[in-house]
Amino acid sequence: MEIEKGFKIDSPNVFVPWNIGEKEFLELFKAAELKNVTSGYYTIPCESLNGLKSLIGFHFEPRKNGVLNELEFFRTNYDDPKKSFDDFQTHFEKAFGNPTGSSKGNEGFDNYQWSINGIKIMHYVFDRFGPEEHMRIKYESTKTYKNNGGISAEIKNSNNNNSGLN
């Protein structure tokens, strides 16, 4: 996968380029179950990365008339948080290789990060009314990442430099 150019979804069969506008984005999914959650944010149940079943959230910045700059992978059922975390981690490692950084995380889960030519992939759990798993791909040429709770996670690169998920 050429993650620097965009993200390939296996089912529905769609390649979504970074920095695509909302109008063009909607054309890609005209026959799919795309849900408009709020201005600049859409979700779809799908399969990607050779068998990973999840929902993907598509974030546009700015929220109105923006461009796609972030993907958020999640599920509606987290009855087994370890199984979910391991499933996401396994598929992402198969697709993108070993993480370029990791650190001790929360709730018994480590934080992982990949940095690939201007793309940042983050996988971590934080406590927000209980444990909450985050698996995100961020196109870094736009604004920096802030999660919904305003909490950032620190990840150490393999060369021991700190790289925040600000």
Contacts of 78 (CB under 8 A, 6+ apart): 84, 133
Cβ–Cβ under 8 Å, residues 31 and 19: no
For residues 29-53, give the mean pLDDT.
Answer: 95
pLDDT for position 158: 40
In whole angstroms, how large is the CA radius of gyration of the chain? Answer: 15
Q: Which H or E element spans position 121? A: strand 119-127
Give the pLDDT confidence of 55-94 residue by residue, as tens digits.
999 999 999 999 999 999 999 998 999 999 999 999 999 9
Q: What is the largest CA-CA distance in the chain?
A: 46
Give the pLDDT confidence of 100-149 residue by residue, as tens digits.
999 999 999 999 999 999 999 999 998 888 889 999 999 986 443 344 44
What are the helix (H) ranges across 11-120? Answer: 22-28, 81-96
